[in-house]
């Protein structure tokens, strides 16, 4: 069957979407890149220099922020998928309470990230509901520090709760593409519950899992509101560090360097995802 040729009208129809991406997003990335090298400088003389990169790469605070954001992105993406996958399986099979559970899980979709962070504060703060309940049950002797902890568990917890509905939709779509007769055939051949779970559901839904993880990583890696409210005092996230350099120190060119690092890191993760997806596809 001969493929249909792309007409000029088809190309024109792409302009509203593709044109917006190329013009606004592309120009923003380009300006951020050139400003990191001293060109089109906002506050100083416009000239090519590598001093901004040296100042950032040689600063311990910037490197600590990079590793902290990477850690938050990885843990948040993995944790959200681990929580979402069993729930998606429950929705796929159906059961009592499916409607009520679905309504509860959708609540974070309608709450801004900053508001969600403040809501979770009441749960995980030093004298919050979680610590109060644990102490009443005599499970702990003194409140646990879950907010502004040095590792960032509070940030991970809020990221999982806030982005669970988004990831759940992708994982549910991946599980919905698995045919029931394929699962029934595996059971008829003697496969147990865990064998079906790890050898059927997980591999066959891996494309959706990888997509949700990469999108979740990008959101958590560049997060500002949740880290600013529930994150540790030190180190700060890359987005927080970028805001501090631009507004407090008025080092806009160095803030552009941090922006370029965020963009490059996101592209590297996307590339790694595509490579892993190709390897996984080849194995399957």
Give per-residue pLDDT as tens, 155-174.
Answer: 898 889 888 988 998 998 88
pTM of the model: 0.81
Give per-residue pLDDT as tens, 75-111.
Answer: 999 999 999 999 888 888 766 667 777 778 887 877 7
Please determine, for residue 281, whether its predicted confidence score (pLDDT) is greater than 70. Answer: no
Please determine, for residue 5, whether its predicted confidence score (pLDDT) is greater than 70. Answer: no
User: Domains of the chain, with CATH numbers?
Assistant: 56-283 (1.10.3720.10)
Q: Which residue has the tokens 């996307």?
A: 270
């Amino acid at each position: 069957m001969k493929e249909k040729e792309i007409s000029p009208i088809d190309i024109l129809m792409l302009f509203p979407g593709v044109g917006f991406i190329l013009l606004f997003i592309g120009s923003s990335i380009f300006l951020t890149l050139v400003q990191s090298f001293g060109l089109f400088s906002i506050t100083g003389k416009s000239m090519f220099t590598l001093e901004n990169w040296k100042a950032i790469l040689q600063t311990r605070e910037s490197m600590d922020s990079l590793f902290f954001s990477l850690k938050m992105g990885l843990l948040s993406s993995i944790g959200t998928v681990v929580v979402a996958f069993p729930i998606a399986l429950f929705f796929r099979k159906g059961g009592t309470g499916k409607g009520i559970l679905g309504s509860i899980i959708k609540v974070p979709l309608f709450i801004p990230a900053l508001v969600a962070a403040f809501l979770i504060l009441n749960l995980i703060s030093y004298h919050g509901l979680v610590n109060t309940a644990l102490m009443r049950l005599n499970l702990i002797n003194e409140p646990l520090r879950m907010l502004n902890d040095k590792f960032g568990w509070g940030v991970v917890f809020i990221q999982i709760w806030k982005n669970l509905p988004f990831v759940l939709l992708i994982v549910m779509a991946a599980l919905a593409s698995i045919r029931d007769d394929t699962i029934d055939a595996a059971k008829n051949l003697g496969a147990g519950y865990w064998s079906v779970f790890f050898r059927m559901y997980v591999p066959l839904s891996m494309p959706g899992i990888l997509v949700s993880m990469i999108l979740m990583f990008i959101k958590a890696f560049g997060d500002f509101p949740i880290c600013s409210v529930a994150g540790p005092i030190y180190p700060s996230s890359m987005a927080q560090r970028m805001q501090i350099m631009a507004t407090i120190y008025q080092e806009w060119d160095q803030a552009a360097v941090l922006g370029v690092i965020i963009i490059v890191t996101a592209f590297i993760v996307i590339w790694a995802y595509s490579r892993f997806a190709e390897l996984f596809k080849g194995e399957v």
